[in-house]
């Protein structure tokens, strides 16, 4: 069964809007685990507009499921994750001022850079994942760089889902098959929701993990975290 990692960036955004510690990020992470989440994902950005650097060791101390940290591998980011030693680090090609992750790595052009970063993560015993577009060539060069997994950027799938879901999923199935042939683990994330998640994992049932934040937190405003996580987990059950 595909695992669900809950991205809690948006919870931190709400907390930071007023200062103080409401909502309590650590409690939300622990509650998500209690309600069935298989992991917790965070993305500490340089401007700390949601997750702050100080949140990382605090969360590391309380998260009992898989802890996944996303980010661009600057020196500051690498210093942070090598000290925290999460279960997984997902490398994204975001610029410091980028609003959200909206494209994958060019693993051909960035081959040498990524190889050095992946070597450091491997030496620290941290599983690595590279954020890529649905492109088999990008998956092949991610494997050459030495990553353990790739994470498919699912924004284009989500955007096209309501128009033609069969066409929307096609490049993702093709890339996912190549990822499996390469012997890599497979993650997916960005704009996955209760509307489109079931079909995605029905068509690619060997996805190891989905990371979902924005849609899940929005649903939780209406349903509460316990029911929301149960609904997302239900989407991942394959008969």
Catalytic residues: 43, 70, 190
Residue 189's SS3 state is strand
- How wide is the angle at C-alpha 160 spanned by C-alphas 157 and 166, nearest 5°? 75
Q: Which two tokens stand for residue 137?
A: 């060539």
Whether the CB-CB separation of 220 and 36 falls below 8 Å is answered with: no
CA distances from 10 to 23, 32, 200 (A): 11, 14, 23
CA distances from 103 to 109, 132, 228 (A): 15, 7, 27
Instruction: Check residue 184 and report its DSSP letter.
Output: -
Q: Which two tokens stand for residue 163?
A: 């128009």
Task: Please give the Cα distance from 218 to 235 (Å, whole number).
Answer: 17
Whether the CB-CB separation of 4 and 40 falls below 8 Å is answered with: no
Task: Please give the Cα distance from 46 to 77 (Å, whole number).
Answer: 8
Q: Please report where in the chains the tokens 């909502």 appear, as a residue.
A: 23
């Amino acid at each position: 069964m595909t695992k669900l990692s809950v991205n809690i960036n948006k919870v931190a955004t709400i907390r930071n809007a007023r200062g103080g510690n409401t909502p309590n990020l650590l409690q939300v992470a622990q509650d998500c685990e209690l309600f069935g989440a298989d992991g917790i994902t965070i993305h500490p950005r340089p401007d700390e507009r949601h997750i702050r650097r100080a949140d990382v060791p605090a969360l590391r101390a309380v998260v009992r499921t898989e802890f996944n940290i996303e980010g661009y591998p600057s020196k500051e980011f690498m210093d942070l994750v090598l000290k925290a030693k999460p279960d997984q680090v997902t490398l994204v090609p975001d610029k410091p001022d980028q609003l959200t992750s909206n494209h994958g790595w060019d693993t051909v052009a960035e081959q040498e850079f990524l190889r050095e970063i992946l070597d450091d993560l491997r030496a620290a015993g941290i599983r690595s994942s590279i954020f890529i577009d649905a492109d088999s060539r990008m998956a092949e060069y991610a494997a050459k760089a030495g990553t353990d997994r790739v994470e498919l950027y699912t924004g284009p799938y989500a955007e096209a889902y309501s128009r033609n879901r069969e066409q929307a999923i096609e490049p993702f199935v093709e890339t996912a098959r190549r990822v499996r042939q390469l012997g890599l683990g497979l993650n997916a994330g960005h704009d996955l929701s209760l509307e489109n998640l079931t079909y995605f994992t029905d068509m690619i049932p060997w996805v190891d993990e989905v990371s979902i934040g924005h849609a899940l937190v929005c649903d939780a405003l209406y349903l509460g975290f316990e029911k929301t996580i149960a609904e997302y987990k239900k989407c991942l059950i394959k008969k």
